[in-house]
A and B are shown apart, each in its own frame.
Chain A
């Protein structure tokens, strides 16, 4: 039981830590992605 508990506690730290870290990175860099995507869609709509 102790081994399972240690394993799940470790997994929980990895899961929580990566969830928080990826959220920060995606929030900051996602805006640039969105701008590029809008520009691309506008170009596609402008092309006949």
Chain B
């Protein structure tokens, strides 16, 4: 056990405070708009905090750490792209300004506004499928992080996962977006402090000179240049640019923050400033991964990189970073860092639970009811349906997290599962907003071609990730153009 009583006290104190603060949110929930988009009243600073906290989780630290461990400084390229693209979206208002003006609550809702109810339902199903598969690996990896850093026996991984899920479920189900935003603020502060602390510790312990020397020895030029690195190259960089453009505009949990702000202008400013945070969100944990490679990368070569060996035991690359933290952080600091990581975990999971369950309830269940000729549901009934969807998503996450292990780097698995719906959704949204001829047939073909372009090459043909991602976006674009030209004009 690596934890001292001081560390436990810090972590338990954080958990109790979060639960109490989260439950406060319930008293402010009066309407569906409060429950899903915080009453559309978020200001700039809380907007930044909730958006950053939503997209920075322990899972983010883990997959970025693994990416840094495997690919050295070249791994910084997607982190840089993610930040720059977000700043671009914020400065120009590309997609998000019009989204905010439409007063939406979910991304698939746009598809009914612009295309048809049927396409909204199809998009809702694909968004929920891709989103939940994406989130499906979170719990296991977060549980691994906590057991490695705290030293809890790995037999208790399931218990740790269940406890994390139940805690965040309680306040998310009861208080919806209001509770999520309040806890996000607290969690943002804590996770940021932890991020800065770990970065200082990692560089201090590994030493900048040793870090550079290790990457040079192990990877050579490919460890620095994303163009020379065989895993990346120009196609990867273009795919990452498209992917992040679609993530920052059409990813449900990010879009919900845009919908929750006071105005379109506020959403643009939130996006711009969070773009700078995104640079650190990627690069800092990647640096921790490179530091872990420097300190523990002494094992046999696997795919060109030495496996991490800690205390005589060979680990998977993704576990190198948490193992490093367990060794370099002192008592007290370890408690703060684990509390910060728990904060990150809970802020992401609660937002994602809310995001995907909102899509299931608002874009699948309710439109299907309407299509069947049932009457509209009142606010209380809609909130109830959302809560049930929340529970359903949680149960699925538990089982998927237990039985599925992603092949290869987790970062790339997450990219591909997101691409299942992002390729089609992004193309349809941009086409719908900026191309008058896009129509319902084009929308259907784009969504289905984008999903097939992600699922078939990756899960069946076993193509590599950047070719798969490229294929999905290309097929979706062709689908929208060809379908729209063959269809019956604009709607």
Q: Does B196 interact with chain A (Cβ within 8 Å)?
A: yes
Contact of B31 with A by CB under 8 A: yes
16 A-B pairs within 8 Å (CB atoms) are namely A1-B220, A1-B224, A15-B79, A15-B83, A18-B280, A23-B193, A26-B45, A29-B44, A29-B45, A30-B49, A32-B45, A33-B42, A33-B45, A33-B47, A38-B28, A45-B30
Residue of A nearest to B193 (CB): A23
Task: Mark contacts of B216-238 with chain A using CB atoms, 8 A cut-off: 1 yes-contact digit, 0 otherwise.
Answer: 10001100110000000000000
Q: Which 9 A-B pairs have the closest CB atoms?
A: A19-B280, A15-B279, A33-B43, A4-B224, A18-B276, A23-B192, A30-B45, A33-B46, A45-B30
Q: Which residues of B contact A44 (CB under 8 A)?
A: 30-31, 34, 39, 41
Q: How far is the CA of A1 from the CA of B281 in the complex (A)?
A: 24
For the complex, what is the distance from the CA of A4 to the CA of B31, rounded to whole Å? 52
Contacts of A11 in B (CB 8 A): 76, 80, 279, 283
Query: Given A11-B283, A22-B276, do A37 and B46 touch, yes or no (CB 8 Å)?
Result: yes
Binds A, one of B88-96, B153-161, B182-190: B182-190
A34 to B46, Cβ gap below 8 A? yes
Distance, CA A27 to CA B193, complexed state (A): 11
Within residues 1 to 32 of chain A, which ones have a CB less than 8 A from any CB in chain B? 1, 4-5, 8, 11-12, 14-16, 18-20, 22-23, 25-27, 29-30, 32
Query: CB-CB < 8 A to B199: which residues of A?
Result: 16
Give B389 Cβ to nearest chain A Cβ, in Å.
Answer: 23
B225 near A4 (CB under 8 angstroms)? yes
State in angstroms the CA–CA spacing of A33 and B216 once bound together: 47
Q: What's the dominant secondary structure at chain A's contact region?
A: helix
**In the complex the two chains form, what is the Cα distance from A44 to B273 in whole Å?**
29
Range for the number of chain A residues in contact with chain B: 20 to 34
Q: Is the CB of A23 within 8 A of B38?
A: no
B43 contacts which of A14, A36, A41 (Cβ < 8 Å)?
A36
Contact indicator B28/A45 (Cβ below 8 Å): yes
Q: Contact between A37 and B43 (Cβ–Cβ < 8 Å)?
A: yes
Complex partner residue of B283 from A4, A15, A40, CB under 8 angstroms: A15
Contacting residues, chain A, for B193 (C-beta < 8 A): 23
Query: For B224, what are the chain A residues with a Cβ–Cβ distance below 8 Å?
Result: 1, 4-5, 8
What A residues does B48 contact at CB under 8 A? 22, 26, 30
Known: A16-B196, A33-B47. 17 other contacts (CB 8 A): A1-B220, A8-B73, A8-B76, A11-B80, A11-B279, A12-B76, A15-B279, A19-B279, A19-B280, A20-B192, A20-B196, A30-B48, A34-B46, A37-B38, A37-B43, A41-B38, A42-B28
The 8 Å CB contact of B212, one of A5, A18, A29, is A5
B343 CB within 8 Å of chain A: no
Give a binary string over B46-71; 1 marks a CB under 8 Å from any A CB, 0 the rest.
11110010000000000000000000
- List residues of chain A with CB within 8 A of the CB of B287: 12
- Closest CB of chain B to A19's CB: distance in Å? 3
Output the residue of A1, A20, A25, A32 with the most chain B CB within 10 A: A1
- With the chains together, A30 CA to B73 CA distance in Å? 34
Interchain CB contact (< 8 A) of A40 among B39, B47, B80, B181 = B39
Interface positions, chain B 267-322, Cβ under 8 Å from A, are 273, 276-277, 279-284, 287
Please give the distance in Å from A28's CB to the nearest CB on chain B: 8
Instruction: For the complex formed, measure the closest distance between the CB of B56 and the CB atoms of chain A, giving whole angstroms.
Output: 10
Contact A12 to B283, CB < 8 A, known contacts A19-B276, A41-B34, A41-B178? yes
B36 to chain A, nearest CB (A): 13
Nearest CB to that of B260 among chain A residues? A37
Contact A16 B28, beta carbon cutoff 8 Å: no
> Closest residue to B178 on the A side, CB-wise?
A41
Q: Which of A14, A26, A34, A38 has the most chain B CB within a 10 Å cutoff?
A: A26
* Bound-state Cα–Cα, A30 to B187, Å: 13
Residue from A5, A16, A20, A45 with most neighbouring chain B CB atoms (10 Å): A16
Q: What CA separation (Å) do A7 and B220 show in the bound complex?
A: 16
Q: Residue on B with the closest CB to A37?
A: B41
Asked if B185 and A34 make an inter-chain contact with CB atoms under 8 angstroms apart, the answer reads yes
Nearest B-chain residue to A39, judged by Cβ: B41
Interchain CB contact under 8 A, B30 and A23? no
Contact B41 A41 (CB under 8 A): yes
Q: Note all chain A residues with C-beta closer than 8 A to B196.
A: 16, 19-20, 23
**Known: A23-B196, A37-B46. Is A18-B279 also a contact (CB below 8 A)?**
yes
B195 on the A face (CB < 8 A):
yes
Contact A19 B39, beta carbon cutoff 8 Å: no
B277 touches A19 (CB 8 A): yes
- Give Cα A32 to B76, complex, Å: 35
User: Are B273 and A30 in touch, CB under 8 angstroms?
Assistant: no
Query: Closest CB-CB distance, B277 to chain A, in whole Å?
Result: 6
Query: What's the least CB distance linking A12 to chain B, in Å?
Result: 6
A12 to chain B: closest residue by CB: B283
Contact partners of B79 in chain A: CB under 8 A: 15
The 8 Å CB contact of B41, one of A12, A20, A40, is A40
B191 vs chain A, min Cβ distance (A): 9
